[in-house]
C-alpha cells in the first residue's frame, strides 16, 4: 500500500471527526452555558458565603450550609409538603390520564374535538392557571361555591383551609397536567400492534380480558415512561402555588421549590438556598434512578 | 453590623474575568466630569429607568412627554418589572460591570440593600453641582424623604408616596347605626363595632357585607398591617442593636388583634392580599379595609373601577392604640447608579419628577401621591384630593413620630419574610400568636442584623 492513499484516508477520517465535532460544538457550548455552568455555580455557592454586595462567593465554608439546611425544620416540612402533593397528584394524574385516553381512543363522534379541547390546560401559563382557579374557587365571587351551594354543600374555603388548600393545588395541577398524560397514553394506544388484539378476539377474549391481559401489559413501558416524565415535571412544582396560595395558609402548601425561592430571593440566603437546591437535586436524581430501574424491570417482565 | 466577609485585598476569579471583559468599555462607561451633560438636539442622551410594572407604562406615556417639554434632549425609557423580581434584578444590575439602568425606582425598605453595594450616587454630594438652585429639599416631608436615606446619605428622592390607611364605607356604618370613624377611633372601639358591621346591606336575608378585609395571606406585606397595630400601641420591631423587640406582651396582644380581625372578614379572607380586599371593598362588600392610600381614586372616584360613589368612601389613618393612630410607610424612590455615564441627565429626570411642578402634574394626571408639604397644603386640582391630601399629611406625621416603616437594614426583606411566615402560621391557626412571635424573634436574631 502506498503512503498516498493511507494519508488521504487519515485526512478523510480527521476531516470527518472534525466536521462531526464542528456540528456538535455549538450544542455543547450552549448546553455548557445554560446547564452545566448554573449547576456548577450553584455547587460553588453552596460551599461558600455569598457576598451580596458583589454577588460573588466570598469565603469557602465547607459543609456549613448543608449542615444548616439539614438541621432546619422548615426545610424538612417543605419536603414533607412536597411529598404529600406528589403522593396525591401523581397517581391521580396517571390514572385519570390513561382512563381518559381509553375513552378518547374509543370510536365515537366528536372525539377529535374533545382531544383538541384537552390540550387547552397544557398551553395555559401556570401563573394564569393559578389566577384563573383562584377566581373560580373564591368563596365570595367564585362560581364553584355557587354550584356546590345548589346541592347544599359549602361554602368551602378552598384556599383558606389548610387541608383543602393542598387538595386545591392537587386539583389545579391535575387539571393542567392530566392532558399531557392522556396525550402520551393516546400515542401509546395507537401504536399497539393490531394483530395481537385480532388474535385475542379470535380466541374469544372479551373487552375486560383484552384490557387486563393484552392492552395494559403492552402499555406498561409507556406508563413507566409517562410516570418518569411527569414525575420530573411534578417535583418542580412552584408557579401554581405562587399564583394561588403563596404557600399558605400557614405553610400548608409551602412546597420545597417555593421555600427555596423565598429563602433565596426574599431572605437573601443564596448560599443556603443553593445547598437546598443541591440536596433536592440529589434526592430527585436518586428517586428518578429508582423509577427508571423499576420501569426497566416492568418492561422486562411484560 | 456588616456581613461582608470578603477580603478587601483579594480579587475573586469571577471579578477578575468580569473586570477584564469590561475593560474595553470602561472608558465609555465612566461618567465625564460634567455628568454627561443634558444632551443637544444633534446628540440627544438616552437614559433607562427600572420601575414597577404597576406604574411604569403610565409614567412612560404620561410623565415622560411632560418631562421632555423641559428637557427635550433626554430620551427616557422606563422598563416595567414585576415586584417579586425587582430587588434581585436591581442588585444584579447595580453590581454588574456595565449596568443597564441609569435610574432605579426602589421600594421603601430596599435602599439599604442597594446602597450596601456601593453603587448608588450620593445625591447631596456627588450630584450637588447639577442640582437646580430652586430644588427645595426642605419642602419634603421627613418621612417619605427618609425612605431613600441610609447612614446619613441621601441616595434618592420620593417619586410615588404611599401610606397604609383605613378606607371606610359610610353607607355600611350608617346602616349598622354606628358613628363614622374619625382619627380618634381606637382599636378597642373598632373591634367592639366590628360584629355590627357584619350585616345584610342588600336586604337578601343573609350576610353579604363584612366589617374588614386586608392582607391576611402568606405575603411579605401582611406583617405591615400587624406592625401598624403594634406601632400604634407603642411597640416596635427591632431595638437599636437590631435584635427582635416585638416578642412582648404588647406584641402578642396586637398580633391577637390582627388574628381576631379574621372573625369579621369575608369568607376566604385568609388567602386575601391586595386584589381581593380591594375588589371586595369596591363592590360594596366591606365596611372598612386597611389599604394603600394610592387606590383612593380607583376606589371612590372612577366609575370604571368601582361601584361606590365618591361621597360613600371615607379615608383616615388606621385606628389608634395607646400611642396614637397607626399607619405604615410605602414610598417608591428614585436612585441613580454610580456607573451611569449620564448622571446629570438621570438627576435632571429625578429632580423634575420630585419637584413641586412634577409632583403637581403627577398627582393630577397619574394619581401619584405627593411627598412635599407645599403640594399637600396647596389647593389640589380636584376636590376629591382635598380630604385625601389632609389624611396623607397626617399619616406622614404619624409615621415620622412612631417610626412606622419596615426595618432600615440591608437584610430588611429577610426580616419581612420571617414575619410573613410566622404571622401566616398565626392567622391560619397553626400556632398561637405567642408562639409565632417567639419563633419569629429567634429566627430574626439568627440573621445577625
So what's the pLDDT on residue A210? 87
Distances in Å between the alpha carbon of B381 and those of A281, B42, B359?
Answer: 58, 37, 12
Q: What are phi and psi of A64, to 5 degrees?
A: -55, -45
State whether the Cα torsion B172-B173-B174-B180 is positive or negative. Answer: negative
- What's the CA gap between A93 and A85, in Å, rounded? 12
**pLDDT over threshold 80, residue B145:** yes
So what's the pLDDT on residue B28? 42
H-type alpha helices, B177-221 = 187-197
In a domain, B31, yes or no: no
Of A11, A39, A64, which closes a domain? A64
- Across B2-22, average pLDDT: 39
CA distance between the termini of chain A: 54
- What's the CA gap between A196 and A203, in Å, rounded? 11
- Together in a domain, B196 and B272: yes
Report CB contact under 8 Å: A56, B15. Answer: yes
- Together in a domain, A56 and A112: no
Within an 8 Å CB–CB cutoff, is residue B320 touching chain A?
no
- pLDDT category, A152, cuts 50, 70, 90? confident
- Together in a domain, A122 and A19: no
Residue carrying C-alpha cell 438621570: B346
Within an 8 Å CB–CB cutoff, is residue B128 touching chain A?
no
Nearest to A157 among B92, B113, B268 (CB): B268
- DSSP H/E element including B314: strand B313-316
- Together in a domain, A33 and A93: no
Give residue A48's domain range.
3-64
Report CB contact under 8 Å: A159, B268. Answer: yes
- Could you tell me which of B401, B391, B396 has the C-alpha nearest to residue B234? B401
- Across B313-342, average pLDDT: 96
CA distance between the termini of chain B: 6
- Across B137-141, average pLDDT: 97
**pLDDT over threshold 60, residue B3:** no
Query: Worst-scoring range by mean pLDDT, A156-160, A204-208, B27-31?
Result: B27-31
In a domain, B2, yes or no: no
- Together in a domain, A36 and A86: no
Q: How far is A241 from chain B (nearest CA, A)?
A: 11
- pLDDT category, B32, cuts 50, 70, 90? low
B13 or A195, higher pLDDT: A195
- Together in a domain, B205 and B318: yes
Contact B364, B356 (CB under 8 A): no
So what's the pLDDT on residue A2? 55
Nearest to B421 among A159, A162, A251 (CB): A251
**pLDDT over threshold 80, residue A115:** no
Report CB contact under 8 Å: B6, A56. Answer: yes
Cell matching residue A140: 365570595
Report CB contact under 8 Å: A162, B271. Answer: no
So what's the pLDDT on residue B222? 95
Cell matching residue B406: 419596615
Contact B17, B324 (CB under 8 A): no
In a domain, B20, yes or no: no
- Together in a domain, A80 and A31: no
Helices vs strands, H then E, count in chain B: 18, 13
CATH number at residue B171: 3.40.190.10
**pLDDT over threshold 90, residue A53:** no
- Could you tell me which of A296, A256, A281 has the C-alpha nearest to residue A84? A256
- Together in a domain, B272 and B171: yes
**Mean per-residue pLDDT of chain A:** 89
Span B273-292, pLDDT tens digits: 998 999 999 999 999 999 99
Contact list, A252 vs chain B (CB under 8 Å): 428, 430
- Together in a domain, A79 and A127: yes
- Could you tell me which of B117, B120, B116, B95 has the C-alpha nearest to residue B105? B120
Portion 155-184 of B in contact with A at CB < 8 A: none
**pLDDT over threshold 80, residue B19:** no
Nearest to A140 among B5, B267, B414 (CB): B267
Report CB contact under 8 Å: A249, B410. Answer: no
Span A290-302, pLDDT tens digits: 998 988 887 777 6
So what's the pLDDT on residue B30? 52
Nearest to A267 among B6, B410, B414 (CB): B414
- Structural domains counted in chain B: 2
**pLDDT over threshold 50, residue B205:** yes
- How many percent of chain A have pLDDT more than 70? 98
Report CB contact under 8 Å: A265, B88. Answer: yes
- pLDDT category, A279, cuts 50, 70, 90? very high
- Taking CA B151 as the corner, what is the angle to CA B147 and CA B153, rounded to the nearest 5 degrees? 70
Contact list, A158 vs chain B (CB under 8 Å): 268
So what's the pLDDT on residue B5? 36
Of A47, A64, A81, which closes a domain? A64
Report CB contact under 8 Å: A141, B279. Answer: yes
- pLDDT category, B373, cuts 50, 70, 90? very high
**pLDDT over threshold 80, residue B323:** yes
Report CB contact under 8 Å: B270, A162. Answer: no
Contact B214, B225 (CB under 8 A): yes
In a domain, B9, yes or no: no
- Together in a domain, B189 and B88: no
Distances in Å between the alpha carbon of B100 and those of B50, B78, B91, B234, B387?
Answer: 9, 11, 12, 43, 41
Query: Worst-scoring range by mean pLDDT, A169-173, B1-5, B69-73?
Result: B1-5
- Together in a domain, A138 and A284: yes
Contact A275, A69 (CB under 8 A): yes
Chain A's closest residue to B423, CA to CA, is A250
- What's the CA gap between B318 and B185, in Å, rounded? 8
- Together in a domain, B221 and B311: yes
Report CB contact under 8 Å: B413, A55. Answer: no
- pLDDT category, B31, cuts 50, 70, 90? low
- Structural domains counted in chain A: 2
Of A64, A94, A113, which closes a domain? A64
Range with top average pLDDT, A56-65, B78-87, B313-322: B313-322
Report CB contact under 8 Å: B267, A160. Answer: yes
Within a 10 A sphere around the Cβ of A26, how many other Cβ atoms? Answer: 9
What pairing do the DSSP bridges indicate for beta strands B153-154 and B210-213? unpaired
Give residue B97's domain range.
36-161+331-401
- Together in a domain, B183 and B303: yes
Report CB contact under 8 Å: A250, B411. Answer: no
Report CB contact under 8 Å: B425, A250. Answer: yes
CATH number at residue A99: 1.10.3720.10
- Together in a domain, A108 and A53: no
- Together in a domain, B147 and B191: no
Residue carrying C-alpha cell 403522593: A87
Chain B's closest residue to A58, CA to CA, is B6
Nearest to A268 among B267, B411, B425 (CB): B411
- What's the CA gap between B178 and B190, in Å, rounded? 10
Within an 8 Å CB–CB cutoff, is residue B267 touching chain A?
yes
Span B374-421, pLDDT tens digits: 999 988 888 888 999 999 999 999 999 999 999 988 888 889 999 999
- How many percent of chain B have pLDDT more than 90? 78
- Together in a domain, A158 and A268: yes
So what's the pLDDT on residue A3? 58
Contact B389, B397 (CB under 8 A): no
**pLDDT over threshold 80, residue B27:** no
So what's the pLDDT on residue B23? 39
**pLDDT over threshold 80, residue B13:** no
Q: Exposed e or buried b for every residue in A236-263, given b needs 16+ CB within 10 A?
A: ebbbbbbbbbbbbbbbbbbbbbbbbbbb
- pLDDT category, B2, cuts 50, 70, 90? very low
Amino acid at each position: 500500500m502506498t503512503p498516498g492513499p493511507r494519508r488521504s484516508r487519515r485526512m478523510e477520517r480527521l476531516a470527518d471527526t472534525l466536521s462531526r465535532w464542528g456540528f456538535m460544538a455549538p450544542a455543547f457550548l450552549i448546553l455548557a452555558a445554560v446547564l452545566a455552568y448554573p449547576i456548577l455555580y450553584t455547587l460553588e455557592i453552596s460551599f461558600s458565603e455569598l457576598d451580596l454586595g458583589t454577588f460573588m462567593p466570598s469565603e469557602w465554608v465547607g459543609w456549613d450550609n448543608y449542615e444548616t439546611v439539614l438541621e432546619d425544620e422548615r426545610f424538612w416540612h417543605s419536603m414533607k409538603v412536597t411529598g404529600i402533593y406528589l403522593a396525591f397528584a401523581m397517581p391521580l394524574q396517571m390514572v385519570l390520564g390513561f382512563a381518559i385516553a381509553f375513552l378518547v381512543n374509543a370510536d365515537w363522534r366528536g372525539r377529535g374535538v374533545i382531544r383538541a379541547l384537552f390540550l387547552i390546560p397544557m398551553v395555559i401559563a401556570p401563573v394564569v392557571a393559578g389566577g384563573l382557579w383562584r377566581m373560580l374557587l373564591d368563596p365570595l365571587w367564585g362560581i364553584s361555591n355557587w354550584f356546590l351551594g345548589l346541592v347544599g354543600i359549602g361554602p368551602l374555603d378552598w384556599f383558606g383551609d389548610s387541608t383543602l388548600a393542598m387538595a386545591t393545588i392537587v386539583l389545579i395541577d391535575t387539571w393542567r397536567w392530566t392532558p399531557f398524560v392522556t396525550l402520551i397514553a393516546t400515542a401509546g394506544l395507537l401504536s399497539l400492534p393490531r394483530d395481537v388484539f385480532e388474535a385475542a378476539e379470535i380466541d374469544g377474549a372479551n373487552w375486560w380480558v383484552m384490557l387486563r391481559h393484552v392492552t395494559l401489559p403492552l402499555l406498561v413501558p409507556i406508563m413507566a415512561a409517562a410516570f418518569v416524565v411527569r414525575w420530573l415535571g411534578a417535583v418542580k412544582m412552584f408557579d401554581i402555588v405562587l399564583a394561588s396560595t403563596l404557600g399558605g395558609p400557614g405553610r400548608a402548601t409551602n412546597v420545597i421549590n417555593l421555600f427555596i425561592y423565598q429563602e433565596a430571593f426574599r431572605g437573601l440566603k443564596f448560599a443556603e438556598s443553593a445547598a437546598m437546591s443541591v440536596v433536592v437535586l440529589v434526592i430527585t436524581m436518586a428517586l428518578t434512578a429508582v423509577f427508571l430501574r423499576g420501569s426497566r424491570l416492568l418492561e422486562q417482565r411484560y | 453590623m456588616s456581613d461582608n466577609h470578603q477580603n478587601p485585598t483579594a480579587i475573586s476569579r469571577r471579578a477578575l474575568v468580569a473586570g477584564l471583559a469590561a475593560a474595553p468599555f470602561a472608558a465609555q462607561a465612566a461618567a465625564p466630569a460634567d455628568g454627561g451633560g443634558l444632551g443637544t438636539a444633534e446628540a440627544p442622551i438616552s437614559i433607562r429607568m427600572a420601575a414597577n410594572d404597576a406604574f411604569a407604562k403610565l409614567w412612560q406615556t404620561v410623565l415622560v412627554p411632560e418631562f421632555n417639554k423641559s428637557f427635550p434632549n433626554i430620551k427616557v425609557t422606563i422598563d416595567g418589572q414585576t415586584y417579586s423580581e425587582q430587588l434581585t434584578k436591581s442588585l444584579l444590575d447595580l453590581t454588574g460591570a456595565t449596568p443597564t439602568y441609569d435610574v432605579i425606582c426602589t421600594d421603601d425598605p430596599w435602599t439599604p440593600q442597594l446602597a450596601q453595594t456601593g453603587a448608588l450616587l450620593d445625591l447631596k454630594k456627588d450630584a450637588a453641582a447639577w442640582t437646580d438652585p430652586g430644588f427645595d429639599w426642605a419642602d419634603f416631608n421627613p418621612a417619605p424623604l427618609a425612605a431613600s436615606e441610609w447612614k446619613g446619605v441621601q441616595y434618592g428622592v420620593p417619586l410615588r408616596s404611599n401610606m397604609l390607611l383605613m378606607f371606610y364605607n359610610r353607607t355600611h356604618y350608617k346602616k349598622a347605626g354606628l358613628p363614622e370613624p374619625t382619627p380618634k377611633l381606637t382599636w378597642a372601639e373598632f373591634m367592639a363595632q366590628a360584629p355590627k358591621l357584619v350585616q345584610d346591606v342588600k336586604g337578601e336575608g343573609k350576610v353579604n357585607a363584612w366589617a374588614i378585609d386586608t392582607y391576611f395571606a402568606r405575603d411579605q406585606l401582611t406583617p405591615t398591617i400587624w406592625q401598624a397595630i403594634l406601632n400604634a400601641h407603642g411597640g416596635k420591631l427591632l431595638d437599636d442593636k437590631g435584635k427582635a423587640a416585638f416578642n412582648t406582651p404588647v406584641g402578642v396582644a396586637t398580633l391577637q388583634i390582627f388574628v381576631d380581625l379574621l372573625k369579621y372578614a369575608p369568607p376566604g379572607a385568609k388567602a386575601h392580599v391586595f386584589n381581593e380586599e380591594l375588589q371586595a371593598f369596591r363592590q360594596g362588600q366591606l365596611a372598612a379595609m386597611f389599604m394603600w392610600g394610592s387606590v383612593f381614586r380607583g376606589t371612590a372616584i372612577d366609575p370604571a373601577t368601582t361601584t361606590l360613589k365618591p361621597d360613600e368612601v371615607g379615608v383616615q389613618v388606621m385606628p389608634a392604640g395607646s400611642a396614637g393612630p397607626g399607619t405604615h410607610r410605602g414610598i417608591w424612590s428614585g436612585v441613580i447608579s454610580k456607573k451611569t455615564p449620564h448622571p446629570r441627565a438621570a438627576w435632571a429626570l429625578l429632580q423634575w419628577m420630585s419637584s413641586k411642578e412634577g409632583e403637581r402634574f403627577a398627582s393630577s394626571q397619574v394619581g401619584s401621591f405627593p411627598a412635599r408639604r407645599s403640594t399637600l397644603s396647596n389647593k389640589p386640582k380636584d376636590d376629591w384630593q382635598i380630604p385625601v391630601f389632609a389624611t396623607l399629611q397626617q399619616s406622614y406625621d404619624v409615621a415620622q413620630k412612631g417610626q412606622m416603616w419596615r426595618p432600615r437594614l440591608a437584610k430588611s426583606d429577610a426580616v419581612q419574610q420571617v414575619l410573613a411566615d410566622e404571622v401566616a402560621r398565626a392567622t391560619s391557626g397553626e400556632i398561637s400568636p405567642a408562639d409565632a412571635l417567639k419563633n419569629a424573634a429567634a429566627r430574626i436574631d439568627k440573621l445577625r442584623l
